[in-house]
Structure 1
Amino acid sequence: MRVPLSWLREYVDLPAGETGRDVAARLVRAGLEVETVEQLGTDIKGPLVVGEVLSIEVLSGFKKPIRHCFVNVGNANGTGEPQEIVCGATNFEVGDKVVVILPGGVLPGPFPISARQTYGHTSAGMICSARELGMGDDHNGIIVLPPEFEAGTDAIELLQLVDEVLDIAVTPDRGYCLSMRGVAREAAAAYGLPLADPALLDVPPANAYGYLVKVADPVGCDRFVARTVTGVDPAAKSPIWLQRRLQKSGIRPISLAVDITNYVMLEVGQPLHAYDRGRVDGPIQVRRAVEGETLTTLDGVQRKLSAEDLLICDNSGPIGLAGVMGGATTEILDPVVDAETGAVTGTTEIIVEAAHFEPIAIARAAKRHKLPSEASKRFERGVDPEAARAAAQRAVDLLVLIAGGTAEAGVTDIAAPHPVRTIPIDADLPDRVAGAEYGRETVTRRLQEVGCSVSGTDILEVTPPSWRPDLTDPYDLAEEVIRLEGYDNVPARMPVTPPGRGLSEAQRFHRRVGVALAGAGYVEINAYPFVGEAAFDGLGLDADDPRRRTVKLVNPLNDAEPALRTTLLPGLLGALRRNVGRGNTDLAIFETGTVFLPKAEPKVAPRLPVDRRPTEEQLAELDAALPDQPRRVAVALTGERLPSGWWGKGAPSGWADAVEAARVVAAAAGVELTVRQAQYAPWHPGRCAELLVGDEVVGHAGELHPRVVKALHLPERTSAMELDLDLLFADGRRVSGPPVSAYPVATQDVALIVDAGVHAADVESALRDGAGELLESLRLFDVFTGEQAGAGKKSLAYTLRFRATDRTLTADEASAAREAAVTVAGERTGAVLRGA
């Protein structure tokens, strides 16, 4: 919301010396987010005056139209003589009033003006366009002023070029601040000054003579005010003061009727719409759309409507998308001038609509049709339903004042009953929340400044104002008191932590995993948890893959990603692709985070109270409604794992590195990981490892399938791993460091011949079980196939390290442990010693 300081002063009598930055500081202290304070016109120097065009000579022989003009600037030039100016614009005629800057003046840029020779004539000044004065982007022609201004009048003051504009970022709960009325209320409270409320107008009551309106959906539209103005001059234009306020607020002036509705919206916060009464067919109706209906909106686009859309209709059908944008069939017509008679035709009868619509319906319609508007932005944040009558009256008054119209006596006001919301609050609740002493009188005064009605002593009965739908419980009211008293006055006290508390074992484990992977050369990333069907298609998941069953968001940030992730791989591989696209070709990244798995029978989450601690039953009900959220870790690699350099060629990353990352995580969990071959999307069927703890599958690792690599635009041989951390840490075990022995290690190698179909993981498991407690580590260091191994056979060579914690092992003990390991491997897998 852009707030011109000169406009704000109309509603709050700010101290004369207050600058925009001073006001911004007060508003920030009251809890608003003032992003910038824009200084307008500080780089403009006069003389900048109104000029009357006396004569125009069109110069020929040039590539573009050039006009040599004499302009009356009054006594601004010190002589009273006409000013000679050369101009390239063609949108003005003799007798028009224009804006002229004389030699010695400076335009924004800075662009100093001086007399100079051009096109064979002296040009002593310049006739200005809106863009040259910093008033907007319009550079199609120069500014033509209304004829009533005298030549020589100071145009800097006339055009209100010098001002300060506060740019406020309005949060969703402060929709009332999307208006001068709302910001003025905050400024009045911040300075302790009275507010001149622009919505306090004398409005005639509803009667039977107003324009006929039928509301078929009182939930979607709980208030509809209609007023009619006749005898409007179609040639009337918006006055300069109105245009300038719109421009400073970031809205382009269009036509008088549209400008007035925009002006009142900015002033009061109530969006309005103006209809050409002569183009409205019968009564106005408010209803939901019929699926498949169409509406051509003011932007000229024909839109296919949904059954959820709320419409404004007449007998011909839809004439507006309620709260978003009007329809083209009833828009105000541009004035048309008859070339022979000079008569102006156009809209002369206007219906002004001021309605209140349900916020969610408007927000969804604006998003569904990709049609955000100034109106929808306000409705979806909450508009004061009691402001509709005053806003309609204000628009009618301006149409009568500026366009010479006549307000009809008929007033339409359809309003659904609104229950009065009363919130009980302990008078000392703000004190307890902030840890400060405000007192009942301060609490009462601050709530009244917000607009609340307050009664009571120890327990206050507070009725929030109609423009604050966000005030729903005692803590909302406490926040209002605290922010108006100043967050900087809230005392800073460190909380006292009870002894003996700290990170849980699971939290320690998660940190160990991150530290371990970082130590192994991986960089942590955090991806968005949102996915769509395209992500699963890219991973090559089957249609019945359980990972395609997701938790859908009711209001997703992106229609293409409406669900929560069931695997970490889409976000991780997306980050990998973006980095590769930016030239980072050697990557090893990881992420730890939760995935979201829907339950077989989803439940609706309860709405918990905020004024007290929920009961155990309520918390249990909430937990039962949440999806399962196991925590996982995933890595992705591409490029060189070991860099090339003067020392020689590096080593590319591959499936083995992804498997080793899983072993790093398992070591942090203090568990032994079993690795065996598997087929599981999105990995290459011949380079995919299944990761197990005991007999339970905890994850997969390997090289991605070539089709996945191509679909996701990843480098060839990209590898990845994903593990379920909750399964690794299922029993909440405490992990300690490995035992350290002062005694030497005994190393034994063994080469076994097994059938080619036997998994190395099964042989390794058998060797571990047979070797017993003396086995410290086991490593496969060679796999051999060929004639020496035999047809259909393969040789697996292992290094076994034995060590005792209390003695030096003898050669016989180490050999006995080795023989026991080989025996068990032979019994389970049919393995025999090579050469035996």
Structure 2
Amino acid sequence: MKFSESWLRTLVDTQLSSEALSHLLTMAGLEVEGLEPVAPQFNDVVVALVLDVVKHPDADRLNVCKVDTGRGEPTTIVCGAPNVAVGLRVPCALPGAKLPGDFTIKIAKVRGIESSGMLCSAKELGIAEEASGLLVLPADAPVGQSIREYLDLDDSQFELKLTPNRADCLSLTGVAREVAAIAGAQAKLIEVPEVAATIADQRAVVLNAPDACPLYCGRVLKGVNAKAPTPEWMKRRLERSGIRSISALVDVTNYVMLELGQPLHAFDNTKLEGAVHARMAKPEEKLLLLNEQAIAIDADILVIADDVKPLAMAGIMGGEESGITLETSELFLESAFFAPKAIAGRARRYGFGSDASHRFERGVDFGGARRAIERATQLIIDICGGAAGPVVEAKAEMPARQPVRLRSARASAVIGMVFSAEQIAGLFNGLGLPFVREGDDFLVTPPTWRFDIEIEEDLIEEIARLHGYDNIPAPAPRGNLKMMVQPEAQRPAARVRQLLVDRGYQEVVNFAFVEEAWEADFAANPDLIRLANPIASQMAVMRSTLFGGLISNLVTNLKRKQSRVRLFETGRAFQRDAQGAPVAGFRQPWKLAGLAYGGALPEGWGSGALKVDFFDMKGDIEALLAPAQLRFERLQHPALHPGRAAKVLLDGREIGCLGELHPEWVQKYDLPQAPVVFELDFDLVKAVHVPSYLEVSKFPPVIRDLAIVVDQGLGLQTLLDGMKEQLPTLVQDIQLFDVYVGKGVPENKKSLAFRIVMQDTQRTLLDSEVDAAMQQLVSCLERAFGAQLRA
């Protein structure tokens, strides 16, 4: 909303500067989006009277003028304006005046004739972008008066960016009420006396849709002069509010709308037939609007009509056929309240808007409709003459104003500072909010112009606004903090990430919303968790595995010619689970996933072309969870190679999987080679095993090698588990160091060589003890696995 600062200051007595007023309004929730002077700075420009005009003897387009500037003797000025004439009152820049554009007026000779000043156009004064001649002033403009004073050019133009709930501030009265409350000033609102009826003419009003239009006031005025000029002060205030002056009658309705916030409409009374109705549109009704747009009126549109035809879209725009013209001498003036729900969105449906609809759809002061019609009537009579008939008012059930309870203690707790009941009462009184005190509680009844007060929080906001957000203390947060002990068995997530970074991985962050195909390929998930409102069509389901995002990252890196890629990600996966929490029906485990692709080592002169494989990734996972001892068992997984995938077990509990990507997906996603991937339960990865102290032996170990031949299909882990079950107490460690298949080994057999470390903490071992322990191991292997010592 735009308005003139000088107009506002006639309604509220405040000594604040323009900048201070702007800041105050903004901090009260009425954001000042623009504050500009209505005219640039200039000086020594006065109202002048043209006394004489003669052609310049040496120039066809110049005139020599005698001008009275109110400074004594007439002044000679050479002027080239086409509209200069005797008797005009125009702005005159005196010698020494500085005009916009850093232009200084000097006494100079123009084609041999001395010119002592310059007659000015509106463009030369910086108050208009274009001008075809001198700025002609009214005939009563006082000669010699400063033009800045006469045209009120020391004014500023405010532009407010109002939130939709503050429709009460779409008027100068509303803004003045706010300024008075927040600045502690005195509001000087317009007094509107009732205009006595001097003629008996009236027109009946019928409310056919009382829910949409519960109040309608109308009045007939006769003998008005529609051609009467709009007063300069009114035109000036309208223009500085962004409204173009049209005619006196239209200007008055616009002026009252800006002043009081009540949109009005004037019909040509001679074009109306019978009573005026506020009703819903009838089927197939059509209307030619004032903007020359012909519309077919929808059935849910509220219209103003007479007994025969529709006249206007209620609260939006009048009709062309019943509109006033410069020939109108008899009019029917309307002031009504239309329910916001009956107006909201209707204008936009037809591709236009209006100042009236902008206000009605947000809520207009239904207690001010009568006041607005009286104000407009008086202005019309003062400017255009005429006589007024009685006001006809039709009224149904008005919007209920339900009292809202405010607890002083609650307000203090929310705002963060203590407010006494007396302080709150003073703030409410300043804003004109009627209330009843019940101890420290307030029962506030919203006034007719406030549609935004419905709950206690609305009143708390009013207190904060009026007190001033700048005045609310902002102390630094304080709290009794206790340094929590970090459990030794729990690693911080950052430490886990750092371990992976140390091994050459880079962290990525992907959306939890994924393509449906990824869930089918990498999780074989038939029960998808679909999003009700996805941000993109290809991100329509929630992921149950992190593999899809990592493969997508790999594809992106390969397109950018990255031949060696190491990535990891931590994030939530989403699975259906009837016992899930915190969202019922869903489980959200925290996962850690990684991917390795390309060379096992960075390219260099000392490293070969060995590609990363299952065992490289296995080593990374073992290092990540060290000193815990992991087990790996064969796994069938929809995303992984059937023969190169394993489940990861910690203390007998499955914590994840690793393996090469399935050949089908390698081909589908156009990968030159298969990446190796893993996915683990991140919470279990962070829970590390705390090492327990064992005495370090001072005695030398005994190391023996043991080579056995077993079936080729027998797994290493199975062998180790069987050996550990029967492990002699002297054996401290068993490590596989060689696997051989070929000459000297029977078909379908393989040779495994183990290094056995034996040691005691109290003494040096005897050969006989070592031999007995080795024989015990061999016997165990022969019995359990049919193993044979290799010759």
* TM-score of the alignment, normalized to the shorter chain, above 0.5: yes
Give the aligned partner of residue 22 of structure 1.
20
Kindly indicate whether residue 154 of structure 2 is the aligned counterpart of residue 162 of structure 1.
yes
Query: What amino acid does structure 1 have at the position aligned with 2:43?
Result: G
Kindly indicate whether residue 341 of structure 2 is the aligned counterpart of residue 358 of structure 1.
yes
- Residue 459 of structure 1 and its aligned partner are, at CA, apart by 4.0
Query: What amino acid does structure 2 have at the position aligned with 1:21?
Result: E
Give the aligned partner of residue 330 of structure 1.
319
Query: What amino acid does structure 1 have at the position aligned with 2:209?
Result: V
| Corresponding residue SS for 1:358 | helix
- Taking the TM superposition and a 5 Å limit, the aligned residue runs for 1:698-709 are none
Kindly indicate whether residue 307 of structure 2 is the aligned counterpart of residue 313 of structure 1.
no
Kindly indicate whether residue 277 of structure 2 is the aligned counterpart of residue 283 of structure 1.
yes
Q: Distance in 1 between matches of 2:356 and 2:104?
A: 42
Check conservation: 1:71, 1:82, Cα contact below 8 A. Answer: yes
Kindly indicate whether residue 130 of structure 2 is the aligned counterpart of residue 148 of structure 1.
no
| Corresponding residue SS for 2:303 | strand
| Corresponding residue SS for 1:443 | helix
- Residue 148 of structure 1 and its aligned partner are, at CA, apart by 3.1
Q: Distance in 2 between matches of 1:587 and 1:255?
A: 72
Check conservation: 2:93, 2:120, Cα contact below 8 A. Answer: yes
Q: Distance in 2 between matches of 1:203 and 1:178?
A: 25
Give the aligned partner of residue 339 of structure 1.
none
- Residue 43 of structure 1 and its aligned partner are, at CA, apart by 3.9
Deviation digits for residues 401-420 of structure 1 (CA, Å, limit 9, x no counterpart):
57526544323444435153
Give the aligned partner of residue 496 of structure 1.
479
- Residue 491 of structure 1 and its aligned partner are, at CA, apart by 7.0
Give the aligned partner of residue 467 of structure 2.
485
Segment drifting more, 460-469 vs 143-152? 143-152
Kindly indicate whether residue 446 of structure 2 is the aligned counterpart of residue 453 of structure 1.
no
Q: Distance in 2 between matches of 1:318 and 1:764?
A: 94
Check conservation: 2:207, 2:277, Cα contact below 8 A. Answer: yes
Check conservation: 2:192, 2:371, Cα contact below 8 A. Answer: no
Instruction: Pick the structure with greater CA Rg.
Output: 2
Check conservation: 1:354, 1:388, Cα contact below 8 A. Answer: no
| Corresponding residue SS for 2:21 | helix
Q: Distance in 2 between matches of 1:478 and 1:33?
A: 17
Kindly indicate whether residue 18 of structure 2 is the aligned counterpart of residue 12 of structure 1.
no
With over 3 angstroms needed to count, the CA separation of the structure-2 counterparts of 1:764 and 1:184, relative to structure 1, is: farther
1:420 counterpart (382, 402, 415) = 402
Q: Distance in 2 between matches of 1:155 and 1:228?
A: 40
- Residue 389 of structure 1 and its aligned partner are, at CA, apart by 1.0
- Residue 357 of structure 1 and its aligned partner are, at CA, apart by 0.9
Check conservation: 1:37, 1:164, Cα contact below 8 A. Answer: no
Check conservation: 2:337, 2:366, Cα contact below 8 A. Answer: no
Q: Distance in 2 between matches of 1:764 and 1:126?
A: 107
- Taking the TM superposition and a 5 Å limit, the aligned residue runs for 1:402-801 are 404=384, 407-408=388-389, 409-423=391-405, 425=407, 427-433=408-414, 436-466=417-447, 467-487=449-469, 488-490=471-473, 492=475, 494-497=477-480, 499=482, 549-552=530-533, 630=588, 728-729=682-683, 734=687
Q: Distance in 2 between matches of 1:647 and 1:133?
A: 80
- Residue 477 of structure 1 and its aligned partner are, at CA, apart by 3.2
TM-score of the superposition, structure 2-length normalised?
0.60
With over 3 angstroms needed to count, the CA separation of the structure-2 counterparts of 1:502 and 1:170, relative to structure 1, is: farther
Give the aligned partner of residue 747 of structure 2.
none
1:32 counterpart (29, 32, 42) = 29
| Corresponding residue SS for 2:208 | strand
Give the aligned partner of residue 779 of structure 1.
none
- Residue 240 of structure 1 and its aligned partner are, at CA, apart by 3.6
Query: What amino acid does structure 1 have at the position aligned with 2:429?
Result: Q
Give the aligned partner of residue 79 of structure 2.
84
Check conservation: 1:199, 1:387, Cα contact below 8 A. Answer: no
- Residue 330 of structure 1 and its aligned partner are, at CA, apart by 0.8
With over 3 angstroms needed to count, the CA separation of the structure-2 counterparts of 1:678 and 1:479, relative to structure 1, is: same
- Taking the TM superposition and a 5 Å limit, the aligned residue runs for 1:341-420 are 351-358=334-341, 362=344, 378=359, 382-389=362-369, 392-393=372-373, 396-397=376-377, 400-401=380-381, 404=384, 407-408=388-389, 409-420=391-402
Give the aligned partner of residue 255 of structure 1.
246
Deviation digits for residues 506-541 of structure 1 (CA, Å, limit 9, x no counterpart):
x99777788889999999999999x9xxx9799999
| Corresponding residue SS for 1:283 | strand
Q: Distance in 1 between matches of 2:106 and 2:152?
A: 26
Give the aligned partner of residue 68 of structure 2.
74
Check conservation: 1:552, 1:564, Cα contact below 8 A. Answer: no
Kindly indicate whether residue 178 of structure 2 is the aligned counterpart of residue 186 of structure 1.
yes
Query: What amino acid does structure 2 have at the position aligned with 1:450?
Result: L
Query: What amino acid does structure 1 have at the position aligned with 2:12?
Result: V
| Unaligned ranges ≥5, structure 2 | 697-702, 706-711, 728-754, 763-769, 786-791
Give the aligned partner of residue 225 of structure 1.
216
Aligned length: 730
With over 3 angstroms needed to count, the CA separation of the structure-2 counterparts of 1:491 and 1:696, relative to structure 1, is: same
| Corresponding residue SS for 1:274 | strand
Segment drifting more, 516-525 vs 235-244? 516-525
Segment drifting more, 369-378 vs 3-12? 369-378
Deviation digits for residues 44-75 of structure 1 (CA, Å, limit 9, x no counterpart):
213445567887999xx9xxxx9656777531
Check conservation: 2:434, 2:445, Cα contact below 8 A. Answer: yes
TM-score of the superposition, structure 1-length normalised?
0.58
Q: Distance in 2 between matches of 1:50 and 1:591?
A: 78
Q: Distance in 1 between matches of 2:690 and 2:287?
A: 70
Check conservation: 1:589, 1:636, Cα contact below 8 A. Answer: yes
Query: What amino acid does structure 1 have at the position aligned with 2:338?
Result: A
Check conservation: 2:256, 2:375, Cα contact below 8 A. Answer: yes
Query: What amino acid does structure 2 have at the position aligned with 1:12?
Result: V
Q: Distance in 2 between matches of 1:504 and 1:56?
A: 102
With over 3 angstroms needed to count, the CA separation of the structure-2 counterparts of 1:498 and 1:241, relative to structure 1, is: same
Query: What amino acid does structure 2 have at the position aligned with 1:550?
Result: L
With over 3 angstroms needed to count, the CA separation of the structure-2 counterparts of 1:224 and 1:627, relative to structure 1, is: farther
Query: What amino acid does structure 2 have at the position aligned with 1:312?
Result: L
With over 3 angstroms needed to count, the CA separation of the structure-2 counterparts of 1:84 and 1:311, relative to structure 1, is: same
| Corresponding residue SS for 2:180 | helix
Check conservation: 2:593, 2:679, Cα contact below 8 A. Answer: no
With over 3 angstroms needed to count, the CA separation of the structure-2 counterparts of 1:44 and 1:416, relative to structure 1, is: same
Check conservation: 1:424, 1:460, Cα contact below 8 A. Answer: yes
| Corresponding residue SS for 2:466 | helix
| Corresponding residue SS for 1:284 | strand
Identity %: 21
Check conservation: 1:222, 1:357, Cα contact below 8 A. Answer: no
Q: Distance in 1 between matches of 2:341 and 2:265?
A: 20
With over 3 angstroms needed to count, the CA separation of the structure-2 counterparts of 1:41 and 1:461, relative to structure 1, is: closer
- Residue 112 of structure 1 and its aligned partner are, at CA, apart by 1.3
With over 3 angstroms needed to count, the CA separation of the structure-2 counterparts of 1:267 and 1:157, relative to structure 1, is: same
With over 3 angstroms needed to count, the CA separation of the structure-2 counterparts of 1:742 and 1:263, relative to structure 1, is: farther
- Residue 187 of structure 1 and its aligned partner are, at CA, apart by 2.1
Query: What amino acid does structure 2 have at the position aligned with 1:452?
Result: L
